[in-house]
Structure 1
């Protein structure tokens, strides 16, 4: 056997023991009756000649690649894909909330108006916000937050968390997000305080929100705003909601009657917000997320890794 072939055979034997059998260099040295430096040189030879190839699966690199793809595909201004594949499912929302909070802290300046939605996702973002030394910041709810049931929508808690972080008082919109009658909603909107809050929401330069699904477990369905007939209709025509306005896969409102009874920022105003930040931590929200980014309601996306992959693979 030629010297090179013999060296290759020795390197393969050592490499298999080291990489496949998890044997230490000392163990290999003793078993094969060769010195430890010889073992080390054979392992180096295996690497240099391509007998062994080492690949490093950096989750951060994968996330960055997906972020770049989403940025280009949906013409977004900024995308953060949060590596979550090694995170327990129960901790995914917390991890995404933390990442979104870090981004928001980085962009908030004096005299900003921050409009926020509600729900567990927005609340998680607020819980991770660190106090920032800014002045004149306003935090305002951009959709009605009162519930018709005992289910918690985290509207009050979210507003307080954001306001505490930026040293201000929250501006609540203490109304049901969807009224039973359009006339009642129109009457309430004439009130001076409500007009003031709605105008403030329209003037927000930062909006933080999530999307909802049309599953039976969707929060808007559990909060008692809609009849069973309306729910069934929405489940047949919509993919989810954006700031409580139900849309199809392309972001078009599916029911104008319900939309006229909905109180909060209009989708056109949300689209015009300089920093319109959509936060997603569930693959169930991918269809509604797709609708929001295709229609341009969000220009910034903070999303978990699995949902980002599903969004890139999404087809109508």
Structure 2
């Protein structure tokens, strides 16, 4: 008698196995739920849970997998509502930044500025370390940041430039430095002088003043610096407002499109030396470039071009901005 044909078409070579039932009994459901509660809510380790229930660590890990796979545990990542994590990551990657923090922003620029300042204050509280030398520039948003600071590691705080004496409330830059130092318990080095003086001779004389010289002596020691970014127009730059119309147009003709602490940059992010440079009481471009982390805090409808300029300059390693500005930069 011939052997049966093992390859008869009605006999599958590898018959499918019966699908394992996924329904779990009440006892297992309670056990899995309890283990998940111990791990996720009570903060118990897998070893501790294994000892409590007389299980192996493998079975505890398996129970946690089941809890996630069956929906007993649902893990979600929730950020503060004002931070757009997707835009932050895209902006960081697109411009090769160490960090980008993008806030949602408001239609009202004043509210957006408040949001940027508060977020920058939280960032400083997070990243400043003991022994840092922290430089703070002038800026309305930076002054808000100073007022919103609630914690700061012990550090030395240095003012990066003088004030705008013709503007109301410009003592804010000095107060920001002093508040940061008081909060951290470190030493403050404020600059009691204008950012822009009438001529180079006056600037040289002021830089030799003992108090101002003490601040300048720390510029080469900076480990972190926070700066504002101004465009080259009436709305978004106090430096622009401080100059006469002839100088404004002269510098625009030279290609100036952005400024940081009075230092001017063209559309490609290249530094532009002008007669203004010698009249400044503040940090120099090369000194800023040597700082390991330069944090720019800037946003609003009039700042997109200027922020883009400074990102191209390579001077900025971290930016705190708003969603509208971030989208413009990515576009």
TM-score surpassing 0.5?
yes
- Contact kept in structure 2, 1:59 and 1:83, CA below 8 Å: no
SS in 1 for 2:144: helix
- Contact kept in structure 1, 2:137 and 2:261, CA below 8 Å: yes
- Contact kept in structure 2, 1:214 and 1:234, CA below 8 Å: no
Instruction: Report the alpha carbon displacement of residue 252 of structure 1 after superposing the two structures with TM.
Output: 2.1
- Contact kept in structure 2, 1:76 and 1:300, CA below 8 Å: yes
Equivalent in the alignment of 1:233:
250
- Contact kept in structure 2, 1:146 and 1:176, CA below 8 Å: yes
Instruction: Report the alpha carbon displacement of residue 265 of structure 1 after superposing the two structures with TM.
Output: 1.2
Pick aligned residue for 1:170 from 188, 203, 221: 188
State the alpha-carbon separation in 2 of the partners of residues 187 and 59 from structure 1.
48
Equivalent in the alignment of 1:260:
278
- Contact kept in structure 2, 1:141 and 1:201, CA below 8 Å: no
Deviates more, 1:296-305 or 1:138-147: 138-147
Equivalent in the alignment of 1:202:
220
State the alpha-carbon separation in 2 of the partners of residues 192 and 59 from structure 1.
45
The 5-angstrom pairing of residues 212-291 of structure 1 reads 212-217=230-235, 218-222=237-241, 224=242, 226-236=243-253, 237-291=255-309
Equivalent in the alignment of 1:152:
169
Distance 1:184 1:199, change over 3 A: same
Q: Which has the larger radius of gyration?
A: 2
- List gaps (5 residues or longer) in structure 2: 1-78
Instruction: Report the alpha carbon displacement of residue 235 of structure 1 after superposing the two structures with TM.
Output: 4.0
State the alpha-carbon separation in 1 of the partners of residues 318 and 143 from structure 2.
18
Equivalent in the alignment of 2:87:
66
- Contact kept in structure 2, 1:121 and 1:281, CA below 8 Å: no
State the alpha-carbon separation in 1 of the partners of residues 326 and 167 from structure 2.
33
- Contact kept in structure 2, 1:126 and 1:161, CA below 8 Å: yes
Instruction: Report the alpha carbon displacement of residue 230 of structure 1 after superposing the two structures with TM.
Output: 0.9
The 5-angstrom pairing of residues 103-114 of structure 1 reads 103-114=123-134
1:230-280 CA distances to partner (integer Å, 9 max, x unpaired)? 123234432121121121112223342211222211122212211210011
Root-mean-square deviation (Å): 2.4
State the alpha-carbon separation in 1 of the partners of residues 217 and 320 from structure 2.
26
1:280-300 CA distances to partner (integer Å, 9 max, x unpaired)? 131311222112111111100
How many residues end up aligned between the 2 structures?
250
Instruction: Report the alpha carbon displacement of residue 303 of structure 1 after superposing the two structures with TM.
Output: 0.8
Pick aligned residue for 2:112 from 92, 100, 113: 92
- More helix, by proportion: 1
Instruction: Report the alpha carbon displacement of residue 89 of structure 1 after superposing the two structures with TM.
Output: 4.1
- List gaps (5 residues or longer) in structure 1: 1-57
Runs of 4+ in 1 over 6 A off after TM superposition: 58-62
1:177-210 CA distances to partner (integer Å, 9 max, x unpaired)? 1222112212332344333211212311110111
Distance 1:157 1:190, change over 3 A: closer
State the alpha-carbon separation in 2 of the partners of residues 150 and 273 from structure 1.
29
Distance 1:90 1:179, change over 3 A: closer
SS in 2 for 1:284: coil
Distance 1:166 1:62, change over 3 A: closer
Equivalent in the alignment of 2:145:
125
SS in 2 for 1:73: helix
State the alpha-carbon separation in 2 of the partners of residues 168 and 278 from structure 1.
23
